[in-house]
């Protein structure tokens, strides 16, 4: 049990575990592990609450209907799993501004949240534009040796590294 | 045996939840639900994210192709194109560099108490996906299918047996990991 209370595990142990999880989800659920489609479904649910049933007519929501399914439950599960892990190690902590951000841009929570909103917006657009995220393309797609996923994952990191350098070395 | 399980809707919802719990637990234990670790990776100071991802890819790749050759699983490679994978990938990357979480790890960050992930990250991603859904019909007609390469995999593209790609790829990624350790990342 002590092992579960550790704050960090080796990245190789964690990676191996995620690899095993991919076998299980292919075997038991015929699914590749992913996350970003669940965000599309959720935004469809929220839009339906605001604008009514006509939202269903949107082409993209016909492709990915705003319903709860396997992947949506995965995304809910991630919050619970991370919470359990953080509580077991005593690292759970309410925090507005991460340390590295605070060191470069100050500990203002409004500034950090605005940037997170902006980053999230680009990420939401980009994930659906590319048809997947760091899980769906970056892990599940690359392990199937899908060409689309290797290309997308390379672009995630090219864009991410470039942007992080601009944010920290130019603006910071 | 698996076909029967795969078609049971409520059981699949439970499997999804359990898979997510295990995934979130692992991501948090790996440290990759932390903004500092992800930004450290993008600034090329901390290679935890790459180590986790490459180990997962090697493990998953060997196992999935083995199960596939037994006929136990079906592959689901996603389609792609220059207009979708490259353009979308770079837009995602810009968001990655600003937000410092991704759609999976942002949920893990929420679970460990990061409020910027909840009120900024999750909200922003939802607005972004809604904006994409609105723009989709137009993007579909214009950019998304430019330079289409379909749902091809590397073995199909190279017209070779899958193991002729899986084994060298696993060895190459393993060497990258050994190299990262050797140079002290």
Residues A108 and A119 in one domain: yes
Domain stop point among A93, A122, A139: A93
Q: Are residues A112 and A135 in the same domain?
A: yes
Q: Given A46, A85, A159, which is nearest B96 (Cβ)? A: A159
**How sure is the predictor about A53, in pLDDT bands with cuts at 50, 70 and 90?**
confident
Please state the separation of Cα B61 from the chain's center in Å.
Answer: 13
Q: Which SS3 state, helix, strand or coil, does residue B124 take?
A: helix
One domain for residues A86 and A120: no
Which range of residues forms the domain containing residue A123?
96-172
Nearest to A149 among B78, B115, B131 (CB): B78
Please indicate, yes or no, whether residues A57 and A6 belong to a single structural domain of this protein.
yes
Question: What is the predicted pLDDT for the residue at B185?
Answer: 86
Question: Do A73 and B43 lie within an 8 Å CB cutoff?
Answer: no
Q: Judge if A133 and A59 occupy the same domain.
A: no
pLDDT interval class at A172 (50, 70, 90): confident
Say whether both A100 and A113 belong to one domain.
yes
Pair (A8, A74) in one structural domain: yes
Q: Which of A20, A69, A84, A156 would you mutate first to test chain B, the one with the most B CBs within 10 A?
A: A156
Burial A129-159 (b: 16+ CB within 10 A, else e): bbbbbbbbbbbbbbbbbbbbbbbbbbbbbeb
Contact A159, B96 (CB under 8 A): yes
The answer on A86 and A24 residing in a single domain is yes
Q: Which positions 27-56 of B are in contact with A (Cβ < 8 Å)?
A: 27-36, 39-40, 42-44, 48, 51-56
Using an 8 Å CB-CB cutoff, list chain A residues near B163.
Answer: none
Q: Dump pLDDT digits (tens) for A134-162.
A: 999 999 999 999 999 999 999 999 999 99
Measured between CB atoms, does B109 come within 8 Å of chain A? yes
Task: Please report the pLDDT score of residue A1 as a whole number.
Answer: 77
How many domains does one find in chain A?
2
Q: Which of A59, A7, A60, A9 is CA-nearest to residue A36?
A: A60
Show the domain range for B44.
2-182
Both A89 and A100 in one domain: the answer is no
A118 touches chain B (CB under 8 A): yes
B153: helix, strand or coil? strand
Under a CB-based contact definition with an 8 Å cutoff, are residues A29 and B22 in contact? no
Rounded distance, CA A56 to CA A48, Å? 8
Total count of domains within chain B: 1
Q: Kindly state whether residues A159 and A147 are assigned to the same domain.
A: yes
Point out the domain boundary residue: A93, A118, A143: A93
In this structure, are A143 and A161 located in the same domain? yes
pLDDT tens per residue, chain B (185 residues)? 688 999 999 999 999 999 999 999 999 999 999 999 999 999 999 999 999 999 999 999 999 999 999 999 999 999 999 999 999 999 999 999 999 999 999 999 999 999 999 999 999 999 999 999 999 999 999 999 999 999 999 999 999 999 999 999 999 999 999 999 999 88
Does residue A32 share a domain with residue A108?
no
Rounded Cα distance, A162 and A164, in Å: 6
Tell which of A38, A65, A93 closes a domain: A93
ipTM exceeding 0.85, yes/no: yes
Q: Which residues of B touch A25 (CB under 8 A)?
A: 15, 19
List, for residues A30-51, the tens digit of each pLDDT value.
Answer: 999 999 999 999 999 999 999 9
**DSSP of A96-164:** SS-HHHHHHH-S-HHHHHHHHHHHHHHHHHHHHHHT--TTIIIIIIHHTTBHHHHHHHHHHHHHHHHHH
């Amino acid at each position: 049990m002590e092992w579960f209370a550790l704050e960090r595990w080796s990245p190789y142990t964690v990676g191996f575990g995620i690899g095993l999880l991919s076998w299980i989800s292919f075997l038991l659920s015929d699914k590749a592990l992913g996350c970003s489609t669940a965000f599309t479904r959720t935004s469809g649910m929220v839009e339906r609450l605001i604008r009514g049933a006509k939202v269903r007519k949107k082409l993209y929501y016909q492709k990915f209907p705003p319903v709860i399914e396997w992947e949506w439950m995965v995304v809910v599960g991630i919050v619970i799993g991370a919470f359990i892990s953080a509580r077991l190690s005593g690292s759970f902590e309410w925090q507005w501004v991460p340390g590295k951000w605070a060191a470069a841009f100050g500990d203002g929570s409004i500034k950090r949240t605005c940037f997170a909103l902006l980053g999230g917006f680009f990420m939401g657009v980009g994930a659906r534009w590319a048809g997947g995220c760091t899980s769906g393309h970056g892990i599940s797609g690359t392990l199937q040796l899908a060409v689309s996923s290797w290309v997308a994952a390379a672009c995630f990191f090219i864009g991410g590294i470039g942007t992080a350098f601009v944010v920290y070395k130019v603006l910071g | 045996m698996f076909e029967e399980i795969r078609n049971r809707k409520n059981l699949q919802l439970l499997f999804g939840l359990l898979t997510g719990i295990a995934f979130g637990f692992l991501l948090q234990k790996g440290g990759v639900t932390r903004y500092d670790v992800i930004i450290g990776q993008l600034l090329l100071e901390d290679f935890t994210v790459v180590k986790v991802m490459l180990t997962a890819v090697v493990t998953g790749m060997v196992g999935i192709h083995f199960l596939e050759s037994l006929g136990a699983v079906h592959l689901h490679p996603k389609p792609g194109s220059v207009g979708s994978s490259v353009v979308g990938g770079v837009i995602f990357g810009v968001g990655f560099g600003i937000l410092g979480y991704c759609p999976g790890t942002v949920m893990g960050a929420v679970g460990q108490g990061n409020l910027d992930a909840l009120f900024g990250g999750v909200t922003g991603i939802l607005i972004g996906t809604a904006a994409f859904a609105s723009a989709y019909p137009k993007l579909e007609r214009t950019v998304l299918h430019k330079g289409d390469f379909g749902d091809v995999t590397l073995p199909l593209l190279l017209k070779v047996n899958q193991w002729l790609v899986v084994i060298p790829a696993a060895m190459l990624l393993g060497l990258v990991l050994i190299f990262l350790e050797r140079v002290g990342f």
